Amino acid sequence: MADKLRAQQQLEALQSRYVGTGHADTTKFEWTSNIARDSYASYVGHPPLLQYMAIGLGEPREKVRLQMVEKMVQPVGKPPAVED
Amino acid sequence: MATTSSMFMYSLTIQPPTAVTQAILGQFAGTKEQQIVTASGSRLTLQRPDATHGNLTTLLSHDVFGIIRSLAAFRLAGSNKDYIIIGSDSGRITIIEYVPAQNRFNRVHLETFGKSGVRRVIPGQHLAADPKGRACMIASVEKNKLVYVLNRNAQAELTISSPLEAHKNQTLVFAMIALDVGYENPIFAALELDYGDSDQDPTGRAYENADKQLVFYELDLGLNHVVRKWTDTVDRTANMLFQVPGGTDGPSGVLVCGEESITYRHANQEAFRVPIPRRKGATEDPERKRYITAGVMHKMRGTFFFLLQSEDGDLFKVTIDMVEDDNGQPTGEVARLKIKYFDTVPLASSLCILKSGFLFVAAEAGSHHFYQFEKLGDDDNEEVFDSDNFPADPTEPYEPAYFHPRSAENVALVQSIDSMNPMMSCKVANLTDEDAPQIYSICGSGARSNFKTLKHGLSVSEIVESELPSMPSAVWTTKRNREDQYDAYIVLSFANGTLVLSIGETVEEVTDTGFLSSAPTLAVQLLGEDALVQVHPKGIRHIRPGGRINEWPAPQHRSIVAATTNERQVAVALSSGEIVYFEMDVDGSLAEYDEKREMSGTVTCLSLGEVPAGRVRSAFLAVGCDDSTVRILSLDPDSTLENKSVQALTAAPSSLNIMPMADSSSGGSTLYLHIGLYSGVYLRTVLDEVTGELSDTRTRFLGPRPVKLFRVSVQGQPAVLALSSRSWLGYSEPQTKSFMLTPLDYVPLEWGWSFSSEQCTEGMVGIQAQNLRIFNVEKLSNNLLQETIPLCYTPRHFVRHPDHPLFYVISSDANVLAPSTRRRLLADPALVNGDAAVLPPEDFGYPRGKGHWASCIQVVDPVTTKSVLETLELEEIEEAAKQAAVNGASVNQAVVSQAAVNEAAVSMCIASFASQDNETFLVVGTGKDMVTSPRSFTCGFIHVYRFHNNGRSIEFIHKTKTDAPPLALLPFQGRLLAGVGADLKIYDLGMKQLLRKSQCLSVVPNLIVDLQTQGSRIIVADVRESVTYVVYKFAENTLIPFADDTIARYTTATTMLDYETTAGGDKFGNLWALRCPAKASEAADEEGGGAHLVHERGYLQGTSNRLELMVHFFTQDIPTALHKTALVPGGREVLLWGGLMGTLGILVPFVSREDVDFFQSLEGHLRAEDAPLAGRDHLIYRSYYVPVKGVIDGDLCERYARLGRDAKERIAGELDRSVREVERKIADMRTRVAY
């Protein structure tokens, strides 16, 4: 039992430390949101990639950066309604 | 998989990236002078502005082998030196300093805080340093924020604390800065948005109502603790923050910039808001709101102002008025915010204002600009908008502000720094029939787009070019007295005489110099203090001061064939093969040595070195004979003219020169013997100063003509001018001190000499046919010369005419009004006077309109006229064709009857159609009503154009509708291959449209972006799923995919290395090479039908075969073009790649396994000895997405030259070689194939 508890605690520590660490009950919404947020953070964090997209969109880099971070708020639409 | 491979490449950068992601300003050298540090890709560059010349010079460029994401400068209180903090992908915070004495960056601190890589919750994205240098905050896009306290210890060294956390879950950071609070506790301001609620609310209401917060984090220095001190809701669209001076300089606080809003915010102050003025003009949308995309705050003499740049490039000057008390003294309370139009400069990624009155604009695209302030816009009549007239709440209605853009009044451009960023494509071709090919590229974006020609060479500025009465054979310059600063005479030797010109106000002939004018001259020298020596075929003439002349006649029946001199010695070779040696006496007369030496063959050239400082003579005489040898003779009085060493050559030497030069191996100066051969080969060997031994010979082919060598001086450094069919300059690279040999971008010279006068202290004089030319070389740092031709819009693709030196460029811009729309708007009678002024788009950009496309095809002649020959706007092609149709030409009527075209060119090729007697046509793919993200379009078209007038103009023939924009076109076996969406189609040319002959649907999973072919094999690149090999079966007219890849590569460019192998680049900055298994390759090409391929069972939802990865390498920059080509005459073929940020790199294949082993171990040693500056592990950096395979990082290996002597010795020892050998191997890898 103690092992199980420790495993649980370790998992929780990981989850709090590294956003996006999954668990047994990860929903599709959480999972896809995480992937999308990771992607947007990566686009913003790699200067050449951001520029590549800015050229494609025909917008200044700063505006594309803002759009990307803005999309991280709700990257895959509304969360599903909670079923009771 | 192991990192061993049967294929090994050596990666080298031939031009580092020129895109600047961030630029910071500071006194990095610890002096009053400000410098600029820029981050471009993985490079950190220190630039020094020169206020007198008004330009920027690069002092140091350092590759940190990591992704530089943010930079900040800070200065400890009481110090005058700025440190640099780097936020990178290493998961570490790095603090470095610039060491001016050694011209290098030194890492002061490196503190690990998280995982490496660019991740959502690992800090590095945002970085802010307290203006008083007491702390810094480093944050990630989401959640994590760390504060480091910076201090100094008793030894006045910089210390850094352990990190203090200020994390907040589910919170995004949009921007972060440090507040200026004087000496109170440091405060950092962040623009945050908490998405916790919107993640939980299925109705979506929480998302709609989510607020953006301005949060102040206070670092309590006493408690060593960070608290969220203050938060308030700001404009939902806010994207940027700017620091407002505090303490004694101003009210402190921040400017929050959002969509059409600039708001002043502070915890204890009211909010004040001004809108961002909109442009007024006939073609401007009056409803379009702007964002601020860059800006800078500048403090001066108790006042301050902001220059904020909107997305159009307009700079606005923002100032803050303070409330005044009864005595008229400003209080700490803000009264209003004011904004007015300042000037328009290119859209910047960073702006820096220097104290010396300059503005550095690190442009997002195209060349960076360096401006000088002429005034600060204080007393012009631009309308000022102040916050009294605008509500502080952005949701309240208000009257928008407008201004008329105008040409720059306040700043004047003083230097434009060439930048290839963004490079959309490049090609290598030799269109000018020179020895080496040129690189042609399309770069830039919007109206600042360019077609650039790159050539290997040093730029030369010509000072004088004058024609002479007859053809001279040689030229010298000499001073009259040793103390003179400048040269006094130019001596010209002709076939039958000598001409002396004096240098002064004017250059004129003089006859009373004592020079013998009736014979040609072999050498001229200032001997001792003030005597001159002229060597002519019949003797030596010694001209003493006061006009006394001593003549040494050559022995009877013999003449002098070669001579060499220095300020104390003279050596001549006689036609009999004898060498006669003279040395200057104490009384200044020339004394002949009794020892004569007879050489085995005819002497072709001689060289004495300069007399080393503190010595009386140069110890060696180099003698070149026509038996293809060079001998070193001793000039020591005990062993005069005794043989010291011999070197055998491949051809007879034509010129010799002994010269000390800076040397990276020894760290000091080394004596070199430069040898030029009749075969056009140039050699450089090290001449041992004690024994006279020759060692470490390096060879380079300069051109087919005999090489002549001359000693010149460039930037205070000795350099060698080597003349063959081209003129070359050998010099020490300013940063690494390694030897470089670069052609001069100048006419080929026959003779050269150094030249120094008041106007031109470090020049050269040369002879070209009947002309005398005086010139100098100013810049040694850049050996790739650029020529620029402006283009219309962002270039997307270009092709070369198969026979003529012409290029065709397609360019397009999204959300830009096409010229026809612009003209219609300008022709509107309702236009207000003054709105109709059209400003040059290069400076002001094109008028924008959502959903509009402007696109054109341009014919560029980069060789003769160096200009655009013809521009065809896609919008107008049809109208022109309709006109032609009315005039009786045959044009497809059905297609021409459309109104708004809104097409944009996406791809092009030149195809010859077998059905049209192999006539070549220009084929352009376009898309209609395209939206980039999320991808949508109405349809695509393939246009066909006929060449006229040797390709100098093109005529529209017809266009064919396709389901999707064809993103890739390729000529294929006398027909046209098009990638339309995920389908591959083969077209033939018909009278009214293209005729589809064959197709294969869904060849790739997503979208075809590139096509390559050899024989019947087609390489199809997908936007997301790497490449697929397809075979075309002619008999059955089918296209059959037979091999694909295991990794999803977001392909951007490909090229075939051989029939089996494809090299490509992807969107994440990787370079790779894939090879088809031999068995699958053979099976695909079996004779007869393709039934066996069609019926073969697919493997894991793909084709039946998988490609093997041969080579993989992370470059950071996104490759946009790859070519297999040779870059230097006689060099092997290399893989050249061009990157989006302006990088040009090569991959050189290794020939021998020993070399691979050598460089692998060298790389290993360098990783340990010279660990990357920003703390990223080099091997992991190069293996960012996929483990590096089969590639050795030459850029790392070349850092060997910059190591200290100890480290060099150590590594060389480990490799069982000498330092010189190691350096030679590294240098050879580059010089054999590239620049």
Supply the ipTM of this predicted assembly.
Answer: 0.95
Chain B residue with CA closest to A80: the answer is: B202
Alpha carbon of B25 to those of B46, B68, B921: distances in Å? Answer: 10, 16, 52
Contacts of B1118 in chain A (CB under 8 A): 48-49, 52
- Chain centroid to Cα B531, Å, comes to 49
For the record, the structure tokens of B798 come out as 């270009």
Q: Note whether B207 contacts A78, CB cutoff 8 Å.
A: yes
What is the distance between the alpha carbons of residues B1109 and B1073, in angstroms, rounded to a whole number? 6
Please check whether residue B23 lies inside any domain of the structure: no
A46 interfaces chain B, CB cutoff of 8 Å = yes
Please check whether residue B1193 lies inside any domain of the structure: yes
Burial of B660 (C-beta count, 10 Å sphere; 0-12/13-18/19+): middle
B88 interfaces chain A, CB cutoff of 8 Å = no
Q: Examine the domain organization and report whether B1076 and B959 are in the same domain.
A: no
Q: Which domain-ending residue is among B1114, B1148, B1164?
A: B1114
Q: Note whether B195 contacts A41, CB cutoff 8 Å.
A: no
B172 interfaces chain A, CB cutoff of 8 Å = yes
Q: Examine the domain organization and report whether B1055 and B1149 are in the same domain.
A: no
B826 interfaces chain A, CB cutoff of 8 Å = no
A15 interfaces chain B, CB cutoff of 8 Å = no
Contact B345, B311 (CB under 8 A): no
- HSE-CB for B474 with a 13 A CA cutoff: 18
Q: Examine the domain organization and report whether B1046 and B1108 are in the same domain.
A: yes
Q: Examine the domain organization and report whether B1062 and B1091 are in the same domain.
A: yes
Contacts of B349 in chain A (CB under 8 A): 61
Chain A residue with CA closest to B141: the answer is: A41
CB burial readout B468-484, b (16+ within 10 A) else e: beeebebbbbbbbeeee
Min Cα distance B995 → chain A (Å) is: 31
What is the distance between the alpha carbons of residues B102 and B109, in angstroms, rounded to a whole number? 19
Task: Report the CATH number that the domain containing residue B1167 is assigned in CATH.
Answer: 1.10.150.910
Q: Note whether A55 contacts B422, CB cutoff 8 Å.
A: yes
Q: Examine the domain organization and report whether B1157 and B1022 are in the same domain.
A: no
What are the E-state strand segments in B314-437? 314-324, 330-344, 348-353, 358-363, 368-373, 384-386, 402-403, 411-417, 423-429
Min Cα distance A1 → chain B (Å) is: 30
The structure tokens 């962002």 sit at B794
Q: Coil, strand, or helix at residue B1185?
A: coil
Which residue of A37, A69, A74 is in closest CB contact with B174?
A: A69
What's residue B896's pLDDT?
40
Assign residue B324 a region: left if phi > 0, alpha if psi is -120 to 50, beta otherwise? beta
What is the distance between the alpha carbons of residues B140 and B164, in angstroms, rounded to a whole number? 14
Q: Note whether A52 contacts B1067, CB cutoff 8 Å.
A: yes
Contacts of A55 in chain B (CB under 8 A): 365, 422, 445, 794, 1140
Q: Note whether A37 contacts B120, CB cutoff 8 Å.
A: yes
State pLDDT tens for residues A40-67: 999 999 999 999 999 999 999 999 999 9
Give the sheet arrangement for strand B784-790, strand by strand: B423-429, B438-443, B450-456, B784-790
- Among B14, B6, B5, smallest CA distance to B1137 is for B14
Burial of B916 (C-beta count, 10 Å sphere; 0-12/13-18/19+): middle
Q: Examine the domain organization and report whether B1007 and B933 are in the same domain.
A: no
What is the distance between the alpha carbons of residues B979 and B1021, in angstroms, rounded to a whole number? 9
What's residue B897's pLDDT?
39
What's residue B3's pLDDT?
46
Q: Which residues of chain B have pLDDT under 50?
A: 1-3, 889-898
Q: Examine the domain organization and report whether B1201 and B1147 are in the same domain.
A: yes
Please check whether residue B169 lies inside any domain of the structure: no
The structure tokens 């070389």 sit at B777
Per DSSP, the residues of B331-367 read EEEEEEEEEEEEEE---EEEEEE-TTSEEEEEESSS-
What is the distance between the alpha carbons of residues B522 and B563, in angstroms, rounded to a whole number? 6
What's residue B166's pLDDT?
94
Task: Report the CATH number that the domain containing residue B807 is assigned in CATH.
Answer: 2.130.10.10
For the record, the structure tokens of B872 come out as 């065809």
What is the distance between the alpha carbons of residues A40 and A76, in angstroms, rounded to a whole number? 12
Helix residue ranges, H only, B872-952: 874-886, 893-896
Q: Examine the domain organization and report whether B1110 and B1190 are in the same domain.
A: no
Please check whether residue B831 lies inside any domain of the structure: yes
B120 interfaces chain A, CB cutoff of 8 Å = yes
Q: Centre a 10 Å sphere on the Cβ of residue B823 and count the other Cβ atoms it contains.
A: 12
Q: Examine the domain organization and report whether B958 and B833 are in the same domain.
A: yes
B794 interfaces chain A, CB cutoff of 8 Å = yes
Please check whether residue B1024 lies inside any domain of the structure: yes
Dihedral angle, C-alpha B831, B833, B835, B841, nearest 10 °: 110
Q: Which domain-ending residue is among B1052, B1079, B1114?
A: B1114
Q: Examine the domain organization and report whether B1007 and B1092 are in the same domain.
A: yes
Burial of A57 (C-beta count, 10 Å sphere; 0-12/13-18/19+): middle
Assign residue B546 a region: left if phi > 0, alpha if psi is -120 to 50, beta otherwise? left
Q: Note whether A79 contacts B202, CB cutoff 8 Å.
A: yes
In this structure, are strands B708-714 and B694-701 parallel, antiparallel, or unpaired? unpaired
Please check whether residue B347 lies inside any domain of the structure: no
B815 interfaces chain A, CB cutoff of 8 Å = yes
Min Cα distance B194 → chain A (Å) is: 8
φ, ψ at B917 (rounded to 5°): 55, 40
What is the distance between the alpha carbons of residues A46 and B1070, in angstroms, rounded to a whole number? 13
Please check whether residue B226 lies inside any domain of the structure: no
Min Cα distance A21 → chain B (Å) is: 12
Neighbouring residues of B75: CB distance < 8 A, sequence distance ≥ 6: B26, B27, B81, B82, B83, B133
Please check whether residue B481 lies inside any domain of the structure: no
Instruction: Name the amino acid, one letter, at B939.
Output: C
Domain extent at residue B1189? 1134-1232
Q: Examine the domain organization and report whether B852 and B933 are in the same domain.
A: yes
- Chain centroid to Cα B801, Å, comes to 27
B454 interfaces chain A, CB cutoff of 8 Å = no
Domains: count for chain B: 3
In this structure, are strands B83-88 and B68-74 parallel, antiparallel, or unpaired? antiparallel
What is the distance between the alpha carbons of residues B712 and B1091, in angstroms, rounded to a whole number? 71
Instruction: Name the amino acid, one letter, at B826.
Output: L
Alpha carbon of B388 to those of A18, B267, B303, B316, B396: distances in Å? Answer: 47, 20, 21, 18, 14
Q: Examine the domain organization and report whether B919 and B1021 are in the same domain.
A: no
Q: Which domain-ending residue is among B933, B949, B981?
A: B981
B70 interfaces chain A, CB cutoff of 8 Å = no
Q: Note whether A57 contacts B933, CB cutoff 8 Å.
A: yes
pTM over 0.90: yes
DSSP state of B616: S
What is the distance between the alpha carbons of residues B147 and B139, in angstroms, rounded to a whole number? 9
What's residue B889's pLDDT?
45
Contacts of A49 in chain B (CB under 8 A): 1067-1069, 1118
State pLDDT tens for residues B177-216: 999 998 999 999 999 999 999 988 999 899 999 999 999 9
